[in-house]
Chain A
């Protein structure tokens, strides 16, 4: 028997399986000192202990059996599960726009993995069509799996490869791009793509899901429909994040890749536009802009790809009593750029000043953002702010800290000249910095207030 016959089992459990000549997916009768059990041996998660067997009993339930309680065990049959979404060829419909779906991994396209006990990516047009046949009414879809990584493992290398692949598709005349992505760092990738893909003629829509597609209540199907509609028929040619507006199965919000952030660890409607209102609202049948200063769809295939990124950039989240050696150690380790998420209007404590001065003298580019996430850096209001600017910190207006981090990496990938970098950083791209903040942007639903409760009761959220 190959090692594959014992997926995930180790130690005592593995020994017992071998002793009794029983395989994973083997149908067994087990006699234990807690009574007898029958069922199918399932693979076990590698991170679980090494003395339990996982058994699927005839009613479909799983139970664990301690191998030390086993008196005897016989394999009576074998039936390996064939976990496969029914694959059907994605139909081509004359007249529908062509959309390319890039897979990067993440929850939107996933299935169970016994080895880790979690969900792993799985993704072909056929599978997608099998699971969400409605997509065929929206567009003609082709897919390409670029990577199979969880979103936390996405980085500069992937950003560049993605940008270049998208550029090629645009040159070949695609009508819209959809990118399936894990949600944790989706907004980082969205910012990176916004900078790396200059002036695209078609929508580039990033989408993920907060509930894996192996769950009946998953948001994946609806998110895919919204994203594909936006990519195929929408008239906004920008990098956007398309995710649930409310937690209800209702509509999606389209967020600019430079103003969006994941704001809840598990909610469906986790993505929010900060410092502004969302770009647009999308349903299965339409895209309705909420802002009117967007980049419209064009008929040409022209696009400029700027796949640059300096990896020695860091983000420092300031906290009271932060010690200067934090900054020093970054400089010593060769970091070229630092984005600080400061308190209030953009502050750090006095003991950091000398370290900041030392860093600036060594040519490190330092930008200030606010950890309040909403609002602008205002370094003229207090003396402390003026001091910091004098020491070389550049205020980054109302750029979000994560966006500033991505932009600085991108800028330093192109130049090391302080003025040039500053020019790139402070020239607004897709509203990463805005001139003004609309009064209705800052709306945090504060439950418990009469007016909010009344609103929530009336509107399905």
Chain B
């Protein structure tokens, strides 16, 4: 009994030892203690008609099982420009994946499948990238060089992404601080993954080749909320041009995190900004835990260079699995191996992330590098072991396991065993060094799993298929002159106008600020009214009604302009909004009649009021004055709206 509770106890104990604090209870002090540091790589698709290096239409998507043809490819590592192999490249080669691409004729041509060299770069995309670079105060390069960035996971059929630096060394302003930018690049988007099981990975090529910009910040953010805020501002800035895509998946970010003494780890493809705080928080603490593990191990093992695991093949018949999965393994002809990890007691069940332990780091790598699907292992400190106590005792006995050791039992196809053993040894050796360089995949619960080894600058190679593109000063200056307001300026102006802060995100995210400003400046509506009109009313309507494809925020400007002309009261727009949202082509008079608006004089309203007051006395359930005026407001609101300010009606019914 005692042995079974050990893993959970150890998990709790180690979680305490490293001083893990849930994010809600964390303060800047918490983050200063662990030396939280984070930077961003924000990706944003550009709104162009065509893809970046070919003439396929951009932005048409296919369902995973809807395709016209499939082709199959493999990727091999090649040397970088400086004559080095990249670490990730070698790992990906180890995984020996068959990569299948699902093509749809309408969105993929021979360029997409790497059977035709690139066409000249899409100049619309280049111009948008330049505008955004200028907004971010980057130094624009004088000559754009297309570079190949190797990706051996197959997400791009060429095996590399064509990408080019547009600007370096810029900055963006947050509410209270400035974040420095390393660079902005223009690149082609990758394929979308359909599945990745064992040695087979499937992609669809619809998104492939769409123009994308990547904004990279310095690791200037010192707490999780700041990371989210910086991401929000970069997104606002991108959107303020009105020339970027806004649908699902059109903006994604990679978040780099480290703690003091840790390593830069990249959390890939975070699709929602709201996930960032939890993810960065947990990653910083995961690294903090790994450093703690290192200290523990170094205390036990004096000469880590000499540390070695030992392993042996097991007879599967001696393993009694607690779950049904065991029959399946035998059918597949899996081999079973035990690995003894000297002095690893207490490490395998050591806390790393909420609900996760060190052993998970091994299991995740077995899946990704050795291509063995989970469950792929169990171990001596599993809180829910996959084999029974008797089997574990058999293993420990045959392996001659000492009390201070840890044991991993894994299984998989014969061909993958060698890679699996290397993978386990490599990860355990890393435990003596601290935090391995890697990219991680995120989950909505704020935890992450191993994705691949972090690639370095060694995977860059000049694109011999594309000539350099010179950028003339006059052209850059012309673009500079027509830049939109920067997000932070919009932010400050709205603050000055006393517009409630809970509306800012909606307004900036949808790039409504230019329209809002026009309404305030040209039509002289009160800013607070306009701000809440968008940030509260419009937001609500967006959720409830169906947006016409023709609807633009400029329609609201027209509406307010007409309201002003007709000398109607401004609240009438609340009733008109849903109508315009669903049918923006409707003329003003038709909208008025569709909401049953009738002109009514103050005298007529007073008569109506007198009549209703009498009626209330007959039907009134309550003598409470509030109930009475509420009822009266409800009855009169729809005829008063547009004719009188509602505040005035309120006065009258009191």
Does chain A have a CB within 8 A of B349?
no
Query: Any chain A CB within 8 A of the CB of B79?
Result: yes
With an 8 A cutoff between CB atoms, is B145 at the interface?
A: yes
| Complex CA distance for A289 and B307, rounded to whole angstroms | 55
- B457 to chain A: which residues have CB within 8 Å? 58-60
Given contacts A216-B77, A250-B72, A456-B68, contact A59 B462 (CB under 8 A): no
Which A28-42 residues sit within 8 Å CB-CB of chain B?
A: 32, 34-37, 42
Task: Report chain B residues within 8 Å CB of A56.
Answer: 81-82, 460
B168 touches A457 (CB 8 A): no
A158 on the interface (CB 8 Å rule)? Answer: no
Query: Is B141 interfacial (CB-CB < 8 Å)?
Result: yes
Contacts of B71 in A (CB 8 A): 246-248, 460-461
Does the CB pair B160–A215 fall under 8 Å?
Answer: yes
Binds A, one of B6-14, B113-121, B489-497, B506-514: B113-121
Q: Are B142 and A69 in contact (CB under 8 A)?
A: yes
Q: Which residue of B lies closest to A246 (CB)?
A: B71
B620 at interface, CB cutoff 8 A: no
Q: Residue A316 at the B interface, CB < 8 A?
A: no
B57-96 contact mask (Cβ, 8 Å, vs A): 1 or 0: 0000000000111111111111111110100010000000
Residues B69 and A216 in contact, CB atoms below 8 Å apart: no
List of A residues within 8 angstroms of B147 by Cβ: 60-62
Known: A83-B79, A215-B158, A461-B71. A117 touches B183 (CB 8 A): no
Query: Is A117 touching B144 in the complex (CB atoms < 8 A)?
Result: no
Stretch from A46-54, A91-99, A295-303 forming part of the interface with B: A46-54
Contact A64 B70 (CB under 8 A): no
Fill in one digit per residue for A75-115: 1 if any B CB lies within 8 Å of its CB, else 0: 00000011111100000000000000000000000011000
Known: A49-B470, A267-B110. A34 touches B139 (CB 8 A): yes
- Set of chain B residues within 8 Å of A461, measured between Cβ atoms: 69, 71
Q: Does B363 contact A (CB under 8 A)?
A: no
In the complex, residue of chain A having the shortest beta-carbon distance to the beta carbon of B77 = A216
Q: Is the CB of B115 within 8 A of A268?
A: yes
Is A83 touching B82 in the complex (CB atoms < 8 A)?
A: yes
Q: Give per-residue flags for B117-143: 1 if the beta carbon is below 8 A from chain A beta carbons, else 0.
A: 100000000000000000000011111
Q: Output the least CB separation between B393 and chain A (Å).
A: 43
Shortest CB-to-CB span from A161 to chain B, Å, is 29
Given contacts A34-B142, A117-B464, A216-B152, contact A266 B117 (CB under 8 A): yes
Q: Total number of A-B contacts with CB less than 8 angstroms?
A: 174
- Tally A residues with Cβ within 8 Å of B: 61
Instruction: Please measure, in the bound complex, the distance between the C-alpha atom of A85 and the C-alpha atom of B67, giving whole angstroms.
Output: 39
B456 touches A (CB below 8 Å): yes
Within 8 A of A (CB), among B435-450: none
User: CA A111 – CA B456 in complex, angstroms?
Assistant: 21
Chain B residues with CB below 8 A from A131, complex form: 76
Which of B110, B143, B158 gathers the greatest number of chain A CB atoms within 10 Å?
B143
Once the chains bind, are A216 and B160 in contact (CB under 8 Å)?
A: yes
A216-B75 in contact (CB<8A)? yes
* Cα(A246)–Cα(B103), bound, Å: 15
> Is A218 interfacial (CB-CB < 8 Å)?
yes
Which residues of chain A have C-beta atoms less than 8 A from B584's C-beta? none
Please state if B460 and A218 are interface contacts (CB–CB under 8 Å): no
Could you tell me if B158 and A62 are in contact, using CB atoms closer than 8 angstroms?
no
**A64 and B468 in contact, given A36-B169, A248-B73 (Cβ under 8 angstroms):** yes
A106 to chain B: closest CB distance in Å? 15
- The closest CB in chain B to the CB of A211 belongs to B114
The minimal Cβ–Cβ distance linking A399 to chain B, given in whole angstroms, is 29
Q: How far is the CB of B77 from chain A (nearest CB, A)?
A: 7
Is B467 an interface position by the 8 A CB rule? yes
Question: Closest A-chain residue to B467, C-beta based?
Answer: A48
Residues 214-260 (chain A) with a chain B CB within 8 angstroms: 214-218, 221-222, 246-250
Residue among A37, A65, A216, A456 making CB contact with B89, cutoff 8 Å: A216
- Could you say which residues of chain B place their CB within 8 Å of the CB of A32? 139, 142
Complex CA–CA separation, A460 to B68 (angstroms): 11
Is A453's CB within 8 Å of the partner chain B? Answer: yes
List chain A residues, Cβ under 8 A from B164: 61
Complex contact B145–A221 (CB within 8 A): no
B78 in contact with A216 (CB, 8 Å): yes
Contact (Cβ within 8 A) B115 A247: yes
Instruction: State whether the Cβ of A213 lies closer than 8 Å to any Cβ in chain B.
Output: yes
Residue in chain B with minimal CB distance to A250: B72
Residues 126-143 of A contacting B (Cβ, < 8 Å): 131
| Shortest beta-carbon distance from A436 to chain B in Å | 33
Which residues B543-558 have CB closer than 8 A to chain A? none
**Are the CB atoms of A84 and B467 closer together than 8 Å?**
no
CB–CB A119/B464 < 8 A = yes
Report B-chain residues with C-beta under 8 Å of the C-beta of A164: none
Say whether B83 contacts A61, CB under 8 Å.
Answer: no
In the bound complex, CA of A425 to CA of B172 (Å):
75
Q: Which residues of B contact A54 (CB under 8 A)?
A: 145, 468
Is B190 located at the chain interface by the 8 A CB criterion?
Answer: no
The verdict on B182 contacting chain A, using a C-beta distance below 8 Å, is: yes
- B159 engages A215 (CB within 8 Å): yes
Which residues of B from 412 to 469 have beta carbons under 8 Å from A?
A: 456-462, 464, 467-468
Q: Determine if B459 and A60 form an interchain contact, defined as CB atoms under 8 angstroms apart.
A: yes
B460 touches A61 (CB 8 A): yes
Interface membership of chain A positions 275-287, coded 1 if the CB is closer than 8 angstroms to chain B and 0 otherwise: 0000000000000
Partner of A217, one of B79, B82, B105, B114: B114
The reply on A66 being an interface residue by CB < 8 A is yes
B165 within 8 A of A: yes
B48 on interface, CB distance cutoff 8 Å: no
Interface centre among B69, B70, B169 (most CB of A within 10 A): B69
A64 touches B144 (CB 8 A): yes
> Which of A63, A65, A221, A249 sits near B72, CB closer than 8 Å?
A249
15 contacting pairs across A/B (C-beta < 8 A): A34-B142, A35-B168, A52-B142, A59-B183, A60-B149, A61-B460, A62-B165, A63-B168, A214-B78, A216-B152, A218-B78, A248-B72, A249-B74, A266-B116, A457-B68
Given contacts A58-B457, A61-B147, 12 further A-B contacts (CB under 8 A): A35-B139, A49-B470, A60-B458, A62-B145, A64-B144, A64-B145, A69-B142, A112-B462, A211-B114, A211-B158, A218-B159, A456-B69
Q: What are the 3 A-B residue pairs with the smallest beta carbon separation, nearest first?
A: A64-B143, A216-B159, A35-B139
